[in-house]
Amino acid sequence: MKLIAGNQAAFWRCRFFGAQDTFHDDSVRHYFKDCYIQGLIDFIFGNARSLYELSSIANPVALGAKVINGVATVHGRASKDENSGFAFVNCIVGGTGRIWLGRVWRPFSTVVFAYTQMTDIIAPKGWNNFNDPTRDQTVFSGEYMCGGAGANMTLRVPYAQR
């Protein structure tokens, strides 16, 4: 696991590899440009206010006939008064297996994907409320002008913003 907690850190052309909890984007503001983050479960998690312009987020692990479900993002905003969220702009989400774009870790999780190409690894529902339907009213799980086989919004969860 890699951890970033300092304010206004920026990363260019970096590669981060892991399985669970690949990158802990802990707090405050960060910027990622042309980076590659590869993981399996909770690739990017934390409570920062960060902008990602990634070349790829990948889920490379499939074990025989058993495909392991993964989650690209897990945001930890616990209060509506916090100023945090993850924004993914001009990204590519690809790999193997089946993943959710995000899992609602805390009641006010905020994640947006915009102008992002998504392969068919994205689960049709797109997002997971962490088995707590009360969070459906308070989270912001958004997608805007995304393309590719995984960007089909017809089966997305009802709380997904379009």
84 neighbors 45 (Cβ within 8 angstroms)? no
Catalytic machinery residues: 21, 42
Residue that the structure tokens 């994205």 belong to: 122
Contact criterion met (CB below 8 Å) for 85 and 102? no
What is the C-alpha separation between 25 and 126, in angstroms, rounded? 21
What is the C-alpha to C-alpha distance for residues 112 and 51, in angstroms, rounded to an integer? 10
CA distances from 76 to 8, 64, 111 (A): 19, 33, 10
